[in-house]
Each structure stands twice: as structure tokens, then as C-alpha cells.
């Protein structure tokens, strides 16, 4: 290949431009900002949790020196420490081999177990249980056979196959080889199948007994593609040479396990294969559930491609299936936000969540599969269902977008009758709400806040939403005195000229409106949710992620940092969401660019004329590179973490949900690997070699494509790093500093310290 340059061009390439420099102390302040500010709040409540029964609850609260968990009750109003924090810190440190601070325990939520003698929580990607009376913590392991993203069983691992007793105790079932065997309680075999094979076996973990013990349903499985991803741990701590770690990892287009329900009647001694005409193209069959009277069992059928979902009911006497609910979409049925609950009283049926009228709403079906009525309706969406009360014919749910003049993402809570009457609000005020209800639904704790409103936690009665007492009223006076300023919400019209696009603007602590600041966007455009913070909790991952504190740390280096929910993200209308369908590279950029331009028009200090910076992780990493490739006239500098750069390389579950099935040219069109030759801006790629969420080979394939296209870029691969490396795990300060340096040099046009010489 011949390259010809003019003398002027060569001189330009050799010219070294003199830039202003950034002192190490300035970067150190940003790196330390979270640790400096985190201790400055008081009485800020997190994660209220009710006991499994009764009126007791517990929560995490910011106090002098850190955080503590407290226990309280509806009647007593005398919060006490939930446990001995130093005891738990000591026990967890011994078990995990890490340093644990009693005032900064590494979990936000727990549950009491073993008659309140232990607590159970999630830490370091594992479930833990710690005893409260002895210095002992242990990792809880689950015996079930692993499934790759819930659709392909890992046949290298033996299935959990204990004797599963019938409800009346007369029988017990398990598998012998590839077949089901049913015995009496004294061990006599009363029935066994004989048609199971290695390629079509009965799964013991799927056995579900009828409540009257007359029958059971079990899945007969045709295995899918056993795709495994090998990762190399290059520098193990216990040996010199590398280790290989293997993970089952089905990808888009792979064959999934085909589960075929089989109904076994004990006294008849029959095994009836349920006719699969109504569920012949499964992506997944799940939530097998018997009616209390044993008359039938039901399951949810998700068709391959995520465009059809059915609730199937199977008659226990005849093994005849019928459709109770049939949900279809020309784009996708959102399984990430799906909900249904079968009803067990009256004419049975189900409560079902659907977006069929353009918004997420609830529908009531009877036992014949007929629509009784649409329960909720309007240009707003049901966000989640808290409780279905068949006795009172009521539904308790969370919703957003109902109130004119409020941020359409703010969540409120309501109660409504099955017939849609008496829609009753349980929260009020122009704010975002998080509510948790007692087991008997008589009381609830609600935390009300905004990004600019410190949280207030209240205990209320469910009957009339009346206030019992205020549990905590956050004090951020010291945080404010230290320089904290809440981010500024900003709204602009999207690509259609009508839809409001919401985002936040974070300015430096020493902000001067007479100056002009380059802009950096923190992006995550995954269709499974919305991501701009709505509640007051600015702390999170060190690098920011979707939390305000990380954006503030970056802004303090002389930038404006923003976060936006463009079209294609969730929690608005179905049309808003559908923009992502088979087009993840869109990432809402037409809306985001208009939003930036509207901000620049309104604020003289919002400088985008020389290009905008962008950073993100996972799907945000993909979007970061897509911004530089597909919108190079606007986005000029990017830092991409752990990106799923080609949707064909990523996990089957998330990608087929939004990109569909079968695999086609639309996957190629959204791949930033395929379009690596379009890169013109500055790019830093960061990846952990032990990413179990996104195949690390996705990053290396992007690197390979960039090299072949003779593109310059920076690459940081972190030994042992997982999917969250640099954001909540790994050498966070180092990785964060590399991101800061990159933006300062390439967007801020400033020289950064020569760190190796310091």
C-alpha cells in the first residue's frame, strides 16, 4: 500500500501543540471524590425490608462513620442495630479473605434466616450466610444444574436428583438414568418411563407434583447447542502458569433446549406427552404451576424470536392444552418487563401485563381464556405489580407517567379493583417513590426523593395511605458544604419533534458560566430499562456508571457531563421502545444529538462545536464505539468498557430479545466490528479478561478489525477483571485515572501528568 503525503501534511503531523497541563492533585481530587463525600450524609435510608411475617422491618442508614443496619417495627418505633456489625465484619473477613470494615459492610440488603439466628445477603457475586451467634460465614451453593442464560443446560454437571416426595408423602419421584421413576415411600417402584435417552431425557429438576399427589408433570428435554467459551486467567494467584476457565455460553442463533411437558398419572400408570401444537417453537417454557385443586397446570411459552408469548393451561385429566392468553407483537414482547399471575379462585384465569394498546397495562382474563376487561389504561405505564389480592379483587402496582407536569419516569404506587374501578393513589408529590409493603399488605415504607431532593422515608397505612410516622429524613448539609450540587434535569424534543427526551447535566464544582466547557456523555442505551437517575442516591460505582458522583468527578476536571434516555430505552410508550428493534446501533443517537444541540442553544457554556466525548460500559461500550463510527461529525472521543461490540458474539438472552431471530443482516448492520473502518475519533477500549457476561473475544475481535483497518486506538486489558471492572471491581483508581487522562488529552486538549515519573 502506497501512502503519499505533502510536505505540509508531514510537518503538520510532526508538530507538537502546546496545551495547558493538569496537575496531579486535581486528578487526585476527582479520584478521591466518592470516598470524601460518601461519609457526609446522615439519616439517608436504603433498602427497607419487611420480615416474612409480622410487622417488623429493617433498613440501612447513613450514620456518623459510615452505615448501619437497624431493626424496627410498626408498633414499637424503637430502632435498634439489626445485628452486631463488628461480629459480621470479622466473620466475613475470615471467610472471604478480604478486609471488611464494620461501618462499611459490602452489602445493601439482607434477610434474616434460621429463626433470626443468621443473615443472608449477596456479596462478590455470591450468596452468603453469616451466623449471628458464632463467628462463621459461608458461601451458599445451589445444587441445581447450571443453565446458560436459562435456555441451555450444562450437561457436564449432574442434575440435582433427590427423591422428590409427593405432597401427601405416599410417593417419591426421581430419575434413573434418562427416565423417571416413581416409588412408594417404602421404595417400591410403581411406575417408570422407558423411552428416555441421552438425546431426549427426563429432567429431574423439572418435576412438579400435583397438590393432590395424583399426578406430576416433568419436562422431557432435547438438548440445545453446547457452546462453551474458554477464558484464560493469565496470572493466577496460586501458580505461575495460566489457567483456562470454561463457561457454557449460548449465543444468538444457537439451538436451545426443547422442553416437552409430559403428564404422569400415578394410578393410571400413564405418561402422556402434551400436544405441543400451541408451543411448537419454544425459546423457553417456564413457570410451571398447578392449580390448588389439581385440575390443571399452566406454564408460560416464549416463542423463539420473542414476538409471541402464551399462557398455556393443561387439563390434568386429558393432558389437553389450551391458550389462556396469546400475546403477539410485530416487534418484540418485552420479557424483561413482563408480568402475569394465574388466578386460583372463582373462574380462575389470569392478570396479564401487555403493551398491546401502546402502553404497558394490566388485563383480566377468565378461566376460558376470554378477556374480561382491561384493568388500567391511559398514556402512562404500569412499571411493576406488587400484589394481586384475589379475595378483595384488587391489584397493587407501581406506575409512571400518570401525572401531568411531572417527570414521566417518576414512579408512584396505586391500588385498583380487577374491574378497573377505584384507582387509588398510595403516594403523592412531585418526586420518585420506592415502596415496600408488609407481608399482610397493611403497611408500607415509602422513600420519596429526586436527584435534587434528599430522601424522606415514611411508614404509612395501606388502607388510606395515612402517615404513621417519619422513619428517616436525610440530612445532606455537610455534603452540600463540601461542594455537592445536584445535577440539572434538562428536556428537549426528540427526532419526531414531539416526544420529550429527558436527561441530566452535571457541572464542575467551580463552574463559571462565562467559560465554555467541552461536553461528555455517559451512555447506556440498553432497551431493558431507563437509566437517567431519578432518585437521590448520587453514590455508586467509582467510575460513575449511571451514578451522579462519577459524573461529578469527571466534570470537576473541566467538563460538562450528561446522561440521557433516548428513544429505544424502556419505561415510556411502546413506540418509544420499539426504536431499538433489530437496530441496537441506533442507541437513540438522533434524539441525543438533538438534546445536546438544544442544550448548547440554551446555555452559552455548553460547548459542542469541537465534538462531544462519550463513555459507557457493556451495551454502553457498544454505543460508545457506535457513536464514533456512525456519528463522527458529532462524537469525537470515546472510552468503551466491556462492550458487546457484535450482538452475534454476546449472550443469547439479551440479544435475541431485542435483535430477534433468526440471525440476519440487521445483526451485521449493528455490529461496530463490521464498521471498524469508519472510526475517525480517539478511542480507549477497556476490558476484563474474565468477563463472564460478555465474551471477551468480542473486544479482541474489535481490536483485530481496527488493526486491519489501520486505525489507532488505546487498549487496556485488566488481568482477572470481570464485566464490572473499573466500575465496581478491579483496580478502580488506575482504570478511572486512565479514563480521566484520555478525556483530558483528547477532548480537553490538556497535558496530563507523566505518572510513571511521579
Residue 338 burial (CB count, 10 A): 16
| pLDDT at site 19 | 59
Q: Residue 630: phi, psi to the nearest 5?
A: -95, -15
- Count CA atoms within 13 Å of residue 179 on its CB side: 10
Best CA proximity match to 412, nearest among 447, 442, 377: 447
Q: What is the pLDDT of residue 20?
A: 86
For residue 374, count CB atoms less than 10 angstroms from its CB and return exposed for 0-12, middle for 13-18, buried for 19 or more. middle
C-alpha closest to that of 398 among 310, 339, 438, 451: 339
Under 8 Å between Cβ of 88 and 101:
no
Q: Which residues of the chain have pLDDT under 50?
A: 1-18, 541-546
Note whether 37 and 549 are within 8 A (CB): yes
3-class DSSP state of 285:
strand
| Sign of the dihedral through C-alpha 275, 277, 283, 284 | negative
Torsions phi, psi for 512 (to 5 deg):
-125, 110
pTM: 0.95
C-alpha cell at 172: 417419591
DSSP 729: B
Would you kindly state where each structural domain of the chain is located, as residue ranges? 43-141, 333-450+453-482, 487-751
- How high is the pLDDT of residue 4? 41
- Cell digits for 578? 420499539
Strand duo 111-113 + 80-81: pairing: unpaired
**Superfamily (CATH) of domain 487-751:** Alpha/Beta hydrolase fold, catalytic domain (3.40.50.1820)
Q: What is the pLDDT of residue 728?
A: 86
Q: By C-alpha distance, which of 409, 386, 428 is closest to 535?
A: 409
**Letter string b/e over residues 591-619, b meaning 16 or more CB atoms within 10 A of that residue's CB:** bbbbbbebbbeebebbbbeebbbbbbbbb
Closest CA to 351 of 396, 306, 285, 320: 396
273, three cell numbers: 406427552
Cell numbers describing residue 704? 483485530
CATH code of the domain occupying 333-450+453-482 = 2.140.10.30
State CA 213 to chain mean position distance.
38
Q: Quote the pLDDT of residue 3.
A: 42
Q: Copy the grid coordinates of residue 383.
A: 412499571
Alpha-carbon distance of 395 to 376, in angstroms, equals: 10
Amino acid at each position: 500500500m502506497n501512502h503519499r503525503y505533502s510536505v505540509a501534511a508531514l510537518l503538520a503531523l510532526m508538530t507538537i501543540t502546546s496545551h495547558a497541563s493538569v496537575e496531579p492533585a486535581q486528578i487526585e481530587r476527582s479520584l478521591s471524590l466518592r470516598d470524601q463525600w460518601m461519609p457526609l450524609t446522615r439519616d439517608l435510608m436504603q433498602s427497607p425490608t419487611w420480615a416474612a411475617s409480622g410487622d417488623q422491618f429493617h433498613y440501612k442508614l447513613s450514620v456518623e462513620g459510615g452505615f448501619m443496619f437497624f431493626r424496627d417495627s410498626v408498633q414499637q418505633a424503637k430502632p435498634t442495630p439489626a445485628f452486631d456489625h463488628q461480629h459480621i465484619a470479622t466473620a466475613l473477613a475470615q471467610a472471604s479473605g478480604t478486609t471488611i470494615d464494620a461501618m462499611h459492610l459490602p452489602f445493601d440488603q439482607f434477610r434474616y434466616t434460621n429463626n433470626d439466628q443468621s443473615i443472608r445477603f449477596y456479596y462478590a457475586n455470591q450468596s452468603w450466610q453469616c451466623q449471628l451467634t458464632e463467628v462463621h460465614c459461608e458461601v451458599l451453593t445451589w445444587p441445581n444444574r447450571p443453565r446458560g442464560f436459562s435456555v441451555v443446560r450444562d450437561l457436564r454437571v449432574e442434575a440435582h436428583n433427590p427423591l422428590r416426595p409427593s405432597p401427601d408423602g405416599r410417593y417419591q419421584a426421581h430419575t434413573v438414568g434418562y427416565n423417571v421413576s416413581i416409588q412408594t415411600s417404602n421404595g417400591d417402584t410403581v411406575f417408570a418411563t422407558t423411552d428416555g435417552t441421552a438425546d431426549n431425557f427426563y429432567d429431574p429438576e423439572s418435576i412438579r407434583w400435583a397438590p393432590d399427589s395424583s399426578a406430576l408433570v416433568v419436562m422431557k428435554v432435547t438438548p440445545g447447542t453446547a457452546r462453551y467459551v474458554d477464558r484464560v486467567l493469565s496470572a493466577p494467584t496460586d501458580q505461575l502458569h495460566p489457567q483456562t476457565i470454561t463457561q457454557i455460553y449460548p449465543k444468538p442463533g444457537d439451538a436451545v433446549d426443547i422442553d416437552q411437558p409430559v403428564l404422569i398419572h400415578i394410578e393410571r400408570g400413564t405418561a402422556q406427552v402434551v400436544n405441543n401444537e400451541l408451543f411448537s417453537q419454544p425459546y423457553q417454557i417456564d413457570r410451571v404451576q398447578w392449580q390448588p385443586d389439581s385440575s390443571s397446570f399452566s406454564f408460560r411459552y416464549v416463542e423463539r424470536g420473542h414476538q409471541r408469548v402464551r399462557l398455556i393451561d393443561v387439563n390434568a385429566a386429558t393432558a389437553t392444552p389450551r391458550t389462556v392468553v396469546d400475546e403477539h407483537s410485530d416487534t418484540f414482547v418485552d420479557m424483561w418487563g413482563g408480568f402475569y399471575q394465574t388466578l386460583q379462585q372463582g373462574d380462575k384465569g389470569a392478570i396479564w401485563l401487555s403493551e398491546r394498546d401502546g402502553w404497558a397495562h394490566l388485563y383480566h382474563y377468565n378461566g376460558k381464556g376470554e378477556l374480561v376487561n382491561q384493568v388500567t389504561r391511559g398514556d402512562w405505564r404500569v412499571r411493576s405489580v406488587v400484589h394481586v389480592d384475589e379475595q378483595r379483587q384488587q391489584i397493587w402496582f407501581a406506575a409512571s407517567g400518570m401525572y401531568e407536569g411531572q417527570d414521566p419516569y417518576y414512579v408512584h404506587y396505586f391500588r385498583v379493583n380487577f374491574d378497573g374501578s377505584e384507582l387509588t393513589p398510595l403516594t403523592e408529590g412531585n418526586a420518585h417513590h420506592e415502596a415496600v409493603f408488609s407481608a399482610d399488605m397493611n403497611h408500607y415504607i415509602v422513600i420519596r426523593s429526586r436527584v435534587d431532593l434528599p430522601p424522606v422515608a415514611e411508614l404509612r397505612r395501606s388502607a388510606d395511605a395515612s402517615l404513621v410516622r417519619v422513619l428517616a429524613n436525610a440530612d445532606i448539609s455537610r455534603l452540600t458544604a463540601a461542594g455537592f450540587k445536584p445535577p440539572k434535569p434538562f428536556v428537549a424534543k426528540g427526532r419526531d419533534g414531539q416526544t420529550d427526551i429527558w436527561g441530566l447535566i452535571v457541572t464542575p464544582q467551580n463552574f463559571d458560566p462565562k467559560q465554555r466547557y467541552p461536553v461528555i456523555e455517559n451512555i447506556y442505551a440498553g432497551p431493558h430499562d431507563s437509566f437517567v437517575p431519578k432518585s437521590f442516591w448520587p453514590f455508586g460505582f467509582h467510575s460513575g456508571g449511571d451514578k451522579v458522583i462519577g459524573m461529578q468527578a469527571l466534570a470537576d476536571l473541566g467538563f460538562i457531563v450528561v446522561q440521557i434516555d433516548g428513544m429505544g430505552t424502556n419505561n415510556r410508550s411502546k413506540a418509544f421502545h420499539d426504536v431499538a428493534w433489530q437496530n441496537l446501533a441506533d442507541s437513540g443517537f438522533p434524539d441525543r444529538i438533538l438534546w445536546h444541540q438544544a442544550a448548547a442553544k440554551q446555555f452559552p457554556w455548553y460547548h459542542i462545536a469541537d465534538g462531544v466525548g462519550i463513555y459507557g460500559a457493556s451495551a454502553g461500550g457498544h454505543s460508545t464505539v457506535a457513536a464514533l463510527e456512525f456519528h463522527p461529525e458529532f462524537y469525537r472521543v470515546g472510552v468503551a468498557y466491556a462492550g458487546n461490540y457484535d450482538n452475534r458474539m454476546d449472550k443469547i438472552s439479551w440479544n435475541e430479545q431485542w435483535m430477534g431471530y433468526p440471525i440476519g443482516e440487521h445483526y451485521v448492520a449493528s455490529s461496530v466490528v463490521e464498521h471498524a473502518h469508519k472510526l475517525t475519533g480517539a478511542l480507549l477500549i477497556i476490558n476484563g479478561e474474565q468477563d463472564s457476561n460478555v465474551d471477551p473475544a468480542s473486544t479482541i475481535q474489535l481490536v483485530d478489525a481496527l488493526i486491519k483497518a489501520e486505525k489507532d486506538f488505546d487498549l487496556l486489558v485488566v488481568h482477572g477483571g470481570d464485566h464490572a471492572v473499573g466500575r465496581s471491581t478491579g483496580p478502580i483508581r488506575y482504570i478511572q485515572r486512565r479514563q480521566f487522562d484520555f478525556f483530558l488529552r483528547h477532548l480537553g486538549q490538556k497535558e496530563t501528568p507523566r505518572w510513571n515519573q511521579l
